[in-house]
Each structure stands twice: as structure tokens, then as C-alpha cells.
Amino acid sequence: MEVADQRVFVRADFNVPLDGREITDDRRIRLTLPTLESVLSRGGSIIAASHLGRPEGKGFEADSSIEPVRKKLEELLGSKARGGVKLVGKVPTDPEAAAAAAALKPGEVLLLENLRFEKGEKKGDPAFAAKLAGYGTIYCNDAFGASHRTDASMLALPMAMKPRHRVAGLLLARELIYLSETLANPARPFVAILGGAKVSDKLPALKNLIGRVESIIVGGAMAYTFLLAQGHSMGRSRVQSEMVDDAKAILALAAEKGTQIILPLDHVCAAELAPSAVTRTVCGDIPGDLMGLDIGPASEEAFASHLLKAKTIVWNGPMGVFETPPFNRGTNAIAKAVAEATRRGATTIAGGGDTAAAVEAAGVAEQLSHISTGGGASLEMLEGKHFESLDALEDA
């Protein structure tokens, strides 16, 4: 789209992790740079907007101000942003912000305050969206991580813009290529890796993937619920007893549809979750005084062997409590196996905040085909859900 002399409203996902007011991971900001730089280099100006954290929607909250993002964005854009990155007003619809948007010149960047400072954002309020729509002449969705939501800036705002003026940013387009098009027409064998704590969190994704993939590797605490469903004792491991019948139904459905469910063969166990805990590798049933906290070496080897034969891999969820060494070994081993599969020609996609953090920690982030910026959004795409926010772009 021609953007020269146009004001482009870029809905980004700058919901980055903070330690106090310091950004601990700026990846979501960095990955939006190609879209921003494209607009600026072609003579457009930018109104960037995002939510950050969970303010109450009752006006300005200093602890949730988007100022740390402004500072980092200005640093990353450097001289490409004429006059730096401006942040004006206490809320997005502050008259000062509206005036600053109207006065933007080509090459300039305005960052709005936290969208969730106003209750209209979470409520999908058309009146709030209409005010924001008046700031720009083009709407650009580059916030895959929020695209599963119907917040005002994601749906009502683009619908308030002119037809053919609602577009996808470069990051959103990349996410959709990998998480939509690749999943729709994958190279085979197609293997999914699902981990994390709860079967209930991944149940819709499991149901949607069965019959679509050749196999599903299950790790993390959710594996213990499946093993319990098979009659194994899990000691003090975290299980969802109320999900045992669901786990049995998933195993039966997988058998019916020809999808192999691959569960851990052994477990790294301890009496407590602590870096100093005495660990023990257990095959089969877990003793009553121990809890499983990671997959064991036999599981690492079996999972890796399976992954190296795959041509498409989708991964969501760690294999153990990777935040607490030594229970990160299994997740690191799987990350390295996925990276090796990529080197051998497989398309590999990691989604979810914990998975992205684990891949980064394993040092192989640059070796995978794609790491999604959307946690909930990537999981919902694996569940086969429909995103209304994308319709606003497709119908434009």
C-alpha cells in the first residue's frame, strides 16, 4: 500500500515482560521493526499503539505506563524515526494525543499511552475505536499476539476505517504463513509437541490436531495425567484427576484417527522443586514420596529420534519445570532436537511464551523456522479457532 504522506495507525503487540520498569525481553518490539521501518522509509508517519500489562481501565497508572516501550523503540529505530518517538497524553484519547497525531509529519512516530488505560479497549467500544480511527488514514494490524481478541483496537477500530485501508503488517503476515498456511498444508511427517502443566489448557488443541498430525509428543505435567489415565502411579506429581476421563477419550480418539500419542518413558523426580533437590530418574511408576519434574534421558532420546524424522514440527509447551535447573535438561534437549530437524530441512514452529523463553534459553532461537510472538493466539490457532480481527482485514 502506498503510505507516502499517510498517517499509519500500527496496532502492535508491545506487551513485553518488565522487571520494575526495565524491559527484560524486547523481542516483540524488535520483530515489529520491519513494518515500522517500511512505513518510515516510504514517507509515511506512524501512530503506534499497544496494551501493556493489566491496568484497571480507569485512567493513567504510572506502573503500567508504556514509557519503557517508548524508550526502547526510540533506541531501536534510531535515526529512522525523525525526532525520536513521541509519547503524549495520559490516555490514548487525550486531546494532546489527538493533536500530536494530526500534526505528524512524514518520518515521525507517535506512541500512544497504554490502550487499556481506557475501559473502551477491553469492551470493544465502537465510540472509543472511532476516536482512534480519526488519528490515522491507514490501519495496520501487526499484533498477532492480540489477534485472537475482539478488543476495540483489534476489531472495531479497523472496521471504522475506510475499505481497502485495513492491512496486515509484515510480522502478522509472517505469523499467518507459518501458523495458518503451514498447518493447512504441512510437509509430512507432521509432529506436534505439547507440554505445560494442564491437560485442560491443551485439550482443544489436542482434539484439533488428532487426525491432522502423524504423532503428538506429550511432555510437562500434562503427561502425568495421561499416564495416570493409563493406570500408572504418579506419586506426588502434578496431575489433573478431574481430566483423567478426558485423557482416556483423547487416547481413544487418537487410536481411532491413526495419530500416535507419544508419552515419556522415564522421569526426573525429586521430593521438592528446588535447584538443590536430590534427583532420581524413574522409569514407569513414580514412588509416592517423589514428584516428576522433567522428562528423563530415555524420553529425551526417544522424542529426539522421532523429531529428526519429521518434516513439520509445531511445539507449544515445555517438557518440565525448565525455569528451575536441573529440570530444564529435557526441554533443552527437545529444543536442540527441533533445531537439528530444522537443519535437516523440516519446517519448525514454536509458539507460546514459555516455549519461546525455553528456546531462547537453550540458545537455538535463531535456528528454528519461526518462533511465534503470540502465546494465547498461537495456541488458539492450533485449536482451529477463527479470528474475527483478521476478517476486518480480509473484508477490507
User: Is position 384 annotated as part of the catalytic site?
Assistant: no
DSSP 61: -
CA nearest to 237, candidates 275, 198, 185: 198
| Catalytic residue (one of 42, 82, 123, 198) | 198
CB atoms within 10 A of CB 354: 18
DSSP 367: G
User: How far is 50 from 149, CA to CA, in rounded Å?
Assistant: 13
User: Is position 28 annotated as part of the catalytic site?
Assistant: yes
User: Is position 376 annotated as part of the catalytic site?
Assistant: yes
Q: Where are the alpha helices (DSSP H) in the chain?
A: 27-30, 33-41, 67-77, 95-102, 119-123, 126-133, 156-159, 170-176, 182-184, 199-209, 222-229, 244-257, 297-307, 329-343, 353-362, 375-382, 388-394
What is the distance of C-alpha 96 from the center of its chain? Answer: 33
Cβ atoms of 6 and 138 closer than 8 Å: yes
* Omega within 30 of 0 (cis) for the link into 95: no
* Strand ordering across the sheet containing 85-87: 85-87, 109-111, 45-49, 7-12, 138-142, 166-168
User: Is position 219 annotated as part of the catalytic site?
Assistant: no
Cell 525429586 identifies what position?
Answer: 270
Cβ atoms of 187 and 312 closer than 8 Å: yes
User: How far is 277 from 255, CA to CA, in rounded Å?
Assistant: 38
User: How far is 87 from 94, CA to CA, in rounded Å?
Assistant: 11
* Omega within 30 of 0 (cis) for the link into 189: yes
Tell me whether residue 265 is exposed, middle or buried, using C-beta atoms within 10 angstroms of its C-beta: 0 to 12, 13 to 18, 19 or more. middle
> In angstroms, how far apart are the furthest CA atoms of the chain?
69
| Catalytic residue (one of 7, 11, 28, 122) | 28
Cβ atoms of 88 and 135 closer than 8 Å: no
Mode of pairing for the β-strands spanning 280-283 and 291-295? unpaired
Active site residues: 28, 198, 353, 376
